[in-house]
Structure formats: structure tokens, C-alpha cells
Structure 1
């Protein structure tokens, strides 16, 4: 049987105030196209469908349309809540989506009560068991008293033990002569962050090792870390990664969806299908003139611009007037630091207001004579004896 593994859609994500719904719609459309092209038996979405636990109506509409479009390809659709999703909302909508053969799981469930989802693959008739483990935060896995009284190493050990117990319980729901898959949203030790994860919910102290997953599973479909990677373990333990760069920390990631083929008697094979629909994120360095001169090179990429010259009035506008997709414009930290350090060494005693203001600007990397002139004019107006 064949299934697609994807995760970390983060629908509703904005970047520096820019909506990315059109991008996300195109990316998901490409995933739907792969499901149709390869006649997929199931689509597994391993959490973080949304970027927020309170998504906008437009974001919710896009996700619902995506789930229905995937269902319309003939595939069984299963999705679990990630740390960005609302587990309670997923479970509230579960009965409604069950009616159209789409399975949402918000909270951890026992195997016999929805923790293992079983179905027959449409293409082969093979039995498939998918154990589902939504995001399980440490505050639910480790009792509050332990969080207060335990050391970090003790809490890590307790979290590991609790999650292993859940995994073992779910794996007990696997049946012989079936394709056995586990889908989870969590941090696995040794995994590499993709760059855009929420650090407070990905901290290293709360993780499980890859060997915690059952060796007899044909495949372990993971979400949470945004970089495509396979971790060493007896079973294939795989992060599909995010299908588009969530922020500039992910600009060098390769976006894919995983096509997995398996049978009850053969190990899984994995093929990465490229996702090309999202806009490229790029960080560019140089003087304002150098970067503006490269405008044609950047196309419709979203840009983070690092300026290697002193700050001055109108600098940002000079960039954004030519490059409207420059979402962030800032001074190179090393360059700004050298100015700040130089200003810090200045003796401020017995200096005029204009000189002190000059020091203030220098300490912040602002070197613009027009700003200094404006300050002096305003100061003269405010201190003039003729002012009413």
C-alpha cells in the first residue's frame, strides 16, 4: 500500500505581517496533486496543521478544503494535533469529519478507543493499523508536583518513561499480517531543528529516543521538527519536515512530502516528492546600493536584508521602494556593534545637548546629518526665549 506523510503545514502563518495563505494553498494543492497522481491509499498529517490554536476563519476554511480535497482523491485521511493546534477543537470536530471519512485526533487515546485507526488499503486490500500520538506536553506527561520538585534530568527521565508507556500501549493495538504505522508529533533525541519551531515546546529536556518506537513498526511518521530527516532506529523513524519555509531560519531547508510504500511482509521504501510551490526566503547582505542593484535577481522572493553601512533616515524606504518583498531590513550586527563600542568610549561629561544626541545616535548606529540638524532645530525652537 502507498501513503503520503506530511506535517507542519502551519496554515495561517504570517511573515512580518504578510499573509501566506495563497502560498499555503498552492503548497497543499501540490500535495493533493501527488495523492491523486500516485493513487495514494492514505495521507498522514503529523500535526501542526495550523500555526495558531485559534486560527482565523480563512485558515480554517483552507484546512477543511484541503482535507476534503485529499479525501476526494480516494485516500484515507488521518491528522493529529501538534503543539500549535487546539487539541480540544480537533476532538470537537472529530465526529463531524468522521462522517466524511476524515479522522482527526486531538488528544492521546487508548488503542481501543481511537488511539489505533485501522482500515483496508483501497489498492491492495491490505490491513493497515495507524497508531496516533498527538502532541503530549510535559505538563500532562509529568505531574505538576514533579515539575516543581524534580531536577531537569529527573523530569526528562519521567517524560521519556511516560511517553514510552503510551507508545507501548498503542503498539499493543497492532495486529499481525497488517502494515503497522505510528504517527506522532514530538521531539526525538538526535533530531535537527528546522529553524522555525517554537523553542519553548521543543526543548531538549523533553524528548524520547528513536528506539522508543516499536521495532516491528513498518514506519514512524513524525511531525514537529521542520527539517526532513531519518533518525537511526530499528524501524524507519522519519520527519517529513515542513512543506514550505515557515520563516527565514528555514530558508535552506528542502521541502518535500514523503511517499511511503509498504506491505505486511516487506519493509517500507521512502521517496521524497519535492514541494516547489512556496515562495523562496532569502537573506541578503551588502550596502543599500549593492542590494538595490541586484533587484532583478530576487524576483518575488521574500527577503531579509542585512545592511552593511550606518543607519540613516530613509534607509529602509530606499530598500523597500525598489524591493517591496524585503520584509526585514536591519543593520549588520557586527557593523552596528563597532559603532556602539566606539560611542560607548566617548566621555559624555560637559557636552552640549546636540553633542549628547549625536552620541545617542552613534550608539544606535544612526549616522545621518539630517537627523542631527532636525534635533538642533527643534532644540533651538524649544529653548528660544521668544517661544510662547
Structure 2
């Protein structure tokens, strides 16, 4: 059978105030084109369809149309919730999904609901463990978390995930293609650069040993960099279909095609997807920045100029697609190099602010003048 593995769409992402909706539409159209060309039997979407637990109507439209189009290629489609998704909110769409022929598991429910069976058009049977994102609080009872150390909580979380997988794997058959999809961090994998740190720290990581040797392929979501993970079976992150944040600008945007049978090992191919608006980091003085041709990219700019009021506006006039403007860290004073903190007693707010700017290497008379004006308006309003 052939599988198309994708994850971490993060539809609804707003980058420094800029909507990525057009980029997501382009990426999902390209993903559907891949499905039409490759004709997979099964499409797995391994979580984080949305960037937020409260998606807008526009985001919901983009996601549901994308899933419907994937189903329209003739493939079975299985979707799980991720840590950015509202699991129960996704499950509220299950009536729509069932009518559309899409299998949706937003949050953990009864164990039997998470072992999904199917048969390809050529008669090959498959079994799929579908595990949405599991929070620590769900896996480890709240009262236990107060009594356990951080290491014990981590062990308990991994133990719970492993036990759940082993229980569901009992439904695997000797002559079936045995699959798993989950939204989690596996020890040894590399972060992509834009994940939510609180849910990727080691407390949420599990060892690869939680996956049984009877698995033909584990389709994971959560980490945005496409990669394989060493383990007792083929384990892989598909990566995101587009860079989510500037920390991911070097990541390959794409999906994964997997060919596997019950008696042969999985053969994996990475399929790149076009990025309509790439992300790019540039550095330089104003004079140097003025000579750059950055094309359609959204920009993170490190300015190699002394800090001053209005510098951001000058950069954005030169580079209208600069979403993030910072002073190059090389020009900032190192920690501890500033003079000792001045005494506060008897000093005005303006004097303290000017001293703070001086300590931080941002001394600028125009900025201090603007602070005085704002302070006076607030104090006399």
C-alpha cells in the first residue's frame, strides 16, 4: 500500500502580524497535487492542523476544504489532533468528517476508538493506531503529579504512552500492514525551530522503545523538521508543509510518501512542496540593506547600526516585507559590561529611563524625548 504522511499545517498562523493564509492555501493545494499524482491508499495528517485552539472561520474553511480535497483523490484520510489543536473542538467536527469519509480523532477517548482498520482497493488490509496529543496531566493524574519528581513524571508519561500503544497493538494482524500515527516528541529527534517549547521539553518526550517491532511504519507529527528517528521500526516525522517561523527558514517544506506491504519493509520518499512566500534572515547596515533583492520573502532583519528612534521605520521603508527588525546582537553590550544600576531615590522617571537605555547600549536623545512626551500625557490625562 502507499501512504501520504503530512503533519503540522498550523493553519491560522500569524507571523508578526502577517497572516499566512495565502501560503497555507498554496501549500495544501500542492499537497493535493501530490496525492493526485501519487494516488496513495491512505493519507495520514499527524496533528496540529491549526495554529491555535480557537481557529477562525477562515482557518476552518482552509482545513476542511484541504481535507475534503485529499479525500476526493480516492484515498482514505485519517487525522489526529495535536498540541495546538483543541482536541474536543476537533471531535465536534466528527459528524462532518464521517459524512465526508474522513476519520478524525481529536482527543483521546475509549481505547477501541483509536485502532482503525481498512482495506486498500487492491485488497490489502491495514491497521492504524491513531493517537492524538496527550498532555502530561491527562497521562499522569493531577494528584500524582504533585507527589512525583520531574524525572518520575517523565517516566510515568512515557510508561502510559507505551502501555497504551502496546494495548492497541494487540489488534495488529500477522498479515496486515501495521501502522501508527501520533503527535509527540521522541528522544533523539531534532526540533524544527518553531515548536511550542512547553510541549517539546524532555518531560513530554518518550523513548523510541515505546514503538513495537510489529509496526511497519510510525507516522509522527509535532516536530517541524522532516527526519527519521532510530528505533525498533521505521519512525519518521514528515515535517511541516511550509516554514512556520523564522527559526525554520532552512527546513525542507514537504511531505512523505511511504510504500509498504505486510511482508516488505517501508520505502520512504520525501516530496518537497513549494513555498509561496519564503522566510529569510538578512543582516547589514542601512546602506547594505538598501542594495538587497529579497524577492517575495518575509524578512527578519538584524540591523548593524547604533540603536535610535525611528530605525525600525527606516528599515521597513527600505524593505517593506521586514516583519521583524532587531539590532544585530554583535553590536549590543555583553552581559555585565554596563555600569552598575543607578540608585532610584530622588530621580525622575525620565532620568531612570535614560539611564536604562544607556546601560543597554540604546542611548538616543530622540527616544528619551518621546518617553518624556508620553509620560507627561499619561500623568496629566
TM-score normalised to the size of structure 1? 0.90
- Of 303, 316, 323, the match for 1:327: 323
Gap regions ≥5 residues in structure 2 = none
- Of 253, 256, 260, the match for 1:258: 256
Aligned position for 1:65? 65
1:285-338 per-residue CA deviation (whole Å, 9 max, x = no partner) reads 2212212221x2x11111111112211122111110121110011112331225
Contact 2:176 2:262 in 1 (8 A): yes
Contact 1:219 1:237 in 2 (8 A): yes
Residues 37-76 of structure 1: pairs in structure 2 closer than 5 A: 37-76=37-76
Aligned position for 2:204? 206
Aligned position for 1:162? 160
In 2: Cα distance, 1:119 partner to 1:354 partner: 70
Contact 1:340 1:363 in 2 (8 A): no
Gap regions ≥5 residues in structure 1 = 383-388
Aligned position for 2:312? 316
Larger deviation: 267-276 or 309-318? Answer: 309-318
Query: Is the alpha carbon distance of 1:165 and 1:355 closer, same or farther for their aligned partners in structure 2, counting shifts above 3 Å?
Result: closer
Residues 125-204 of structure 1: pairs in structure 2 closer than 5 A: 125-204=123-202
1:251-281 per-residue CA deviation (whole Å, 9 max, x = no partner) reads 1111220000011111110000001224221
In 1: Cα distance, 2:128 partner to 2:73 partner: 20
Rg comparison, structure with higher value: 1
In 2: Cα distance, 1:310 partner to 1:103 partner: 55
In 2: Cα distance, 1:66 partner to 1:235 partner: 30
Residues 1-388 of structure 1: pairs in structure 2 closer than 5 A: 1-111=1-111, 113-122=112-121, 124-294=122-292, 296=293, 298-337=294-333, 341-342=337-338, 344=340, 359-368=355-364, 370-371=366-367
State the aligned residue count. 376
Query: Is the alpha carbon distance of 1:313 and 1:116 closer, same or farther for their aligned partners in structure 2, counting shifts above 3 Å?
Result: same
RMSD between aligned residues: 2.6
Contact 1:9 1:49 in 2 (8 A): yes
Query: Is the alpha carbon distance of 1:126 and 1:335 closer, same or farther for their aligned partners in structure 2, counting shifts above 3 Å?
Result: same
TM-score normalised to the size of structure 2? 0.91
